[in-house]
Every structure is written in structure tokens, then in C-alpha cells.
Chains A and B, each alone.
Chain A
Amino acid sequence: MVRTLLVRGLLLGLLAGLVAGVFAFAVGEPRIDDAIALENAAAAPGHGAAAEPESATHGHESGTHEQETGKHEHGEEVSRGTQKAGLFLATGLYGLAVGGVFALAFAGLRGRVGPRSDAALALAAAGTAFAAVIVVPFLKYPANPPAVGDPETINTRTLLYLAMIGVGLLSTAIAVTTARSVRGGPWARWPAAVLAFVVPVAVASLLLPTVDEVPDGFPATLLWQFRITSLGTQLVFWASFGTLFGWFCDRAARAPAPAPA
């Protein structure tokens, strides 16, 4: 049973990752190209290159070991064409990893928390995961295109991002516990659950430091388009994965029941 769910999660996660990759390729790559074009224009001689002395140009080979993060010499190690193919590798492997973890969480939740039907549970769990793990960190630390962000702060930003994922998961647990303990029907339960989710997220967002590394003069429209596209990529992934996983569960349930183990 667990094995079946895990295999299903891995395969459907991979598939949904590739679907999200198609969306990201079609809608997102033009935005990335625009951002890189701006970055290259800014790095051109006599156009503010002095403001970015070392970080924009030094390669991986040359630098010290621990701060080996600052580079954007696209076309040196990996060409843009290869990076665009790498996009599908990234979203596919992301889907594989997420799908596997989701399937095991699903196996644990099944019959304990959430809707009784597998299909409804799959959709509810995917929607909840999207809200907790994607939307919550996005609201505080939204996605940035290349050319936005200080390479020196990547470790700090990664930790803050992980902290917001933790906040999202913890708030979900608080909301579920609240929903289960409140009496008085759905009109009491739902607002209580939403409040129990939103309040910790809002408090954490206010307490955690803000990151503002958008360069002066970076077009606001391009930033907005990139951020929406990034959120859209995750939405495509979670919507297709939740639907596929639920659909396969539903199909399996309609098949003749296996002999009880």
C-alpha cells in the first residue's frame, strides 16, 4: 500500500514537474532573457560597472571556496541553451522529490486527517501544501529573476526562506488542530481555522527581516511579471500533481479490490 502510493507519487510528481517545466519555459524564459539582457547592459563598460566591482565578473574557478556563490557569467560554464534544457531537469527532479514526500505524507494522513475520499484528500492536501509551502514564503520573500539579488546574501536568504516554509507548515498544523477542537459547526470551525493559520503567518512575517535587493531602475513591470510567472509555475505544478494523484487514487479505488492483506 505505502509502496504503491510512493511509486505513484514519484512518477506523477515527475510528470507534473515536466508539465510545470513546459509552462515555465513558455512563459518564464522570455522574462529571464529580459532580466539577463538588462544585467548585461548594466555590466557593460561605462554603464555603472564600477558599482559592481568583483561579483558580476569573477568566475567559479578563481574565487575562494566559501564565498563561491557570486557569479552570473552565463555562457561560460553552462550556455543559456543548456540552462533552458536544465529547466526541465530542475522542475522534473523537483517534482520527483516533492511527489515522493507528498505520497508518504498522504499515506500518513489517510484515514486520520482530512476528507475521507482519496481523491478529495489528494486535492485538499495539494492545495494546503501549495498555500503553506509556496504562497506563505512567496508573500514574504517573493521570487526574483536573475540580476536581482546580492550573491553575498544567498545563504541568509535561503535560511529565511526555509524559515518561512517552517512557519507555513507550523501554521497549517495549528489550523488543523484548531479546526478539530472547535465545536459549533462549520460556521465556527472554518473562521477559527483560517484565523489560526493567518495570525502566526502574519506575526512571523512582521518579525522576520525584509530583503530588498532590487537594483535601482529595475523595471517594476518585469519584476511583477517574473514573480507572477514563478508563482504560476508552482501553481501549475501543484494543480496538475494534486489532480493526477487524486485521479489515480480514484481509478485504483474503482478497480476490483485486492485481497485483504
Chain B
Amino acid sequence: MSTLSARHIPLSHLVPWLLAVPALLLLGYLVLMDNGAVSQTGGYLHELMHDGRHLLGVPCH
């Protein structure tokens, strides 16, 4: 159980799940960095999550 070979997850098991990464990064982008360009909500999402953006420390206005 504690040997390296028993604990590491084979890459072949891991790779299919990596498809979730772009979706997760897109979600992070929409929350933290989108200024209406991708979401096409005219800045509504930006304004809705504005306090969160500032307090999470990402650049904003």
C-alpha cells in the first residue's frame, strides 16, 4: 500500500478525466476575468461577481 507503484495512478486512468480541465478553467475565467467578451451578458456576470473578484485578488476596475 505504501510503495510507490501501488499508490500512483496510471496515466491511462488519468488522461480521460483531464478533459474536465478546460471546462473548469473556463468556469474560473468566467468568475475571475471575463469582462463580457465570452459570457456575452454585457458585463452582468462581471458586475454580479464584482465583490468576489476584488476580494479574491484578481485585477478589476
Contacts and interface: CB of A to CB of B under 8 A. Distances in A.
Q: Do A and B come from one complex?
A: yes
Interface of A: 1-3, 6, 21, 24, 28-29, 32, 60-61, 68-72, 74, 77-78, 82-84, 86-91, 93-94, 96-98, 100-101, 104, 107-108, 110-112, 116, 134, 137-138, 141-146, 149, 151, 154-155, 157-158, 160-161, 226, 229-231, 233-234, 257
B49 A89 contact: yes
Nearest to A23: B55
A151 B61 contact: yes
Contacts of B43: 60, 68-69, 71, 77
Contacts of B25: 97, 101
Given A28-B51, A134-B57, A154-B59, A98 B7 contact: no
> Chain B interface residue count: which class?
35 or more
A137 B27 CA distance: 20
Nearest to A211: B59
A2 B48 contact: no
B36 to A, nearest CB: 6
B10 to A, nearest CB: 10
Consensus secondary structure, chain A interface: helix
B43 to A, nearest CB: 5
A83 B27 contact: no
Given A69-B36, A97-B28, A97-B31, 17 more contacts: A32-B54, A68-B36, A82-B48, A86-B47, A86-B50, A98-B28, A101-B24, A110-B7, A110-B9, A111-B6, A143-B54, A143-B55, A143-B58, A146-B50, A154-B60, A154-B61, A234-B56
Contacts of A229: 55
Given A97-B31, A146-B60, A111 B8 contact: yes
B49 to A, nearest CB: 4
B7 A230 contact: no
Contacts of B36: 60, 68-69
